[in-house]
Amino acid sequence: MKVLVTGGLGQIGSHVAEMLLERGDEVLAIDNLATGRREHLADHPKLRVVIDTIADKGVVDGLFEDFKPDAVVHTAASYKDPDDWYNDALTNCVGGANIVDAAKQFGVKRFVYFQTALCYGLRPQQQPIRLDHPRLPGSSSYSITKTTNEYYLELSGIDYVTFRLANVVGPRNVAGPLPIFYQRLKDGKQCFVTKARRDFVFVKDLARTVLRACDGTGQGAYHFSSGTDVAIAELYDAVVNAMGFSGDSKPQAEVKELGPDDVASILLDPSRTFEDFGVLEFTPLQTTVSEAIAYYKQHGTLGEYTHLRLQDKK
């Protein structure tokens, strides 16, 4: 199989690309290095890496015409700054539309997309959230633009799977609380946690499921979720443990109320996923966090991005 992976040097894209290469597929990865890293993918005879932007329609069409992919795994996304509407729209809307349009034009057989759970809004009407929940993405530029591209995909008529995601964590994770906790603890700074709860899923568990989607399992929208959420404080404790703090040296986190753009709980109902893909095995949180910390110790954290406005950047 020939697979084009957008955002191929990012967390999800690079793990998917590695697994595709391991089983003998050809991979074309494109990334603009906004949050991806070239070292995430080692050189391989069946890998081609292009450093460029999917917002350039000429580049995108040329890659599709030359490579002729059987499948597309579209992980590329802009999310570094909640106020950077321009780049969010440029990458997620214009770039995403370019990828969907080229996939349609060049006869791609399978398209795998990734959607944020924030598409359901900051105050979900269901708990856990089912797939029939209305999409209410107006809370952030990131969710607006990611949902816009999901609509383009649905409009295209392409055979697709879209995974609406729980919090994907593990090695190469450069956004969200996990890298922030690590960097602050490493620098001797105090962390804070909110009273929020999240479902944290291991990136390699997701990547294995993506390969099955590339091969034809499933159709339409799915929740990639374990179906169980944990407190952010539990994630913090797992980071502290992985970094080797113990006894009196264990730093305590300050507990803060939720910010205005944060959600108390995002718990997705994975029923349809388990029906079509089978009941999935999910890696324990401490194992997931320990692998991520090992990565940070080797490569650093690349800026600790979050689509949320941090209450404390000191």
pLDDT given at position 312:
42
The question of whether 142 is a catalytic residue gets the answer yes
> Bridge-partner residues for 165, per DSSP?
116, 224
| In contact, 240 and 186? CB cutoff 8 Å | no
Distance between CA 6 and CA 10 in Å, rounded? 9
pLDDT given at position 263:
81
Q: Which of 167, 180, 306, 189 is nearest to 239 (CA)?
A: 180
pTM of this prediction?
0.94
Tell whether the model's pLDDT for residue 105 goes beyond 80: yes
Distance between CA 262 and CA 3 in Å, rounded? 35
Q: Which of 113, 142, 152, 295 is catalytic?
A: 142
pLDDT given at position 310:
45
Q: What pLDDT, in 10s, does the model give residues 151-187? A: 999 999 999 999 999 899 999 998 889 999 999 999 9
- Helix 285-299, helix 177-186: angle, nearest 10: 60
Q: Which of 238, 82, 231, 253 is nearest to 184 (CA)?
A: 253
- Fold (CATH) for 2-169+201-224: Rossmann fold (3.40.50)
Tell whether the model's pLDDT for residue 305 goes beyond 70: no
> Across the chain, what does the average pLDDT equal?
94
Q: What pLDDT, in 10s, does the model give residues 177-207? A: 999 999 999 999 999 999 999 999 999 999 9
Compute, in degrees rounded to 10, the torsion defined by CA atoms 142, 148, 149, 153: 150
Give the pairing of strands 230-231 and 197-198: antiparallel
Q: What pLDDT, in 10s, does the model give residues 225-262? A: 999 999 999 999 999 999 999 888 899 999 999 888 77
Tell whether the model's pLDDT for residue 63 goes beyond 90: yes
